[in-house]
Amino acid sequence: MNYLRISVTDRCNERCLYCLPEGYQGWERRTDPLTTDEIVRVVRIAAELGFRKFRLTGGEPLVRADLPEIVRGMAATPGVERIVFRPMARGWPR
């Protein structure tokens, strides 16, 4: 196994029942569980253990303002061959 899925946030801007059950607003009041440095550290350790492919998930990864920094840090990590994420990206030009 050389693939690791990392959830970078539990926040989402879709407001669907999956990410935001009726009345739930807890995610609006807190920061993401892991910092940029912590995520990159997890990736570094995983790469040292043989993981080569990483998928960033969430909620919606694009709501995380530091996502470009996370991806840059991951890309600079020796052993990382592939970084993917599939945003919902509603409203992005096609």
Q: Using an 8 Å Cβ cutoff, are 19 and 59 in contact?
A: yes
Provide the pLDDT for residue 22: 67
Strand ranges of the sheet holding 53-57, from the earlier edge strand across to the other edge: 3-7, 53-57, 82-85
**If the chain, 94 residues long, is cut into consecutive pieces of 10 residues, what is the mean pLDDT of each piece?**
87 64 62 87 97 89 88 97 80 49
Q: Mean pLDDT for the chain? A: 82
Token representation of residue 69: 């920094």
User: Looking at residue 91, what is its pLDDT?
Assistant: 47
Which pLDDT score is estimated for 89?
Answer: 58
pLDDT at 27 (0 to 100)? 57
- For residue 49, the 8-state DSSP code is T
62-87: string of b/e by CB count within 10 Å (b at 16+)?
A: bbbeebeebbebbeebeebeebebee
**pLDDT given at position 8:** 86
Q: What confidence score (pLDDT) does residue 40 get?
A: 97
**Which pLDDT does position 13 carry in this prediction?**
66
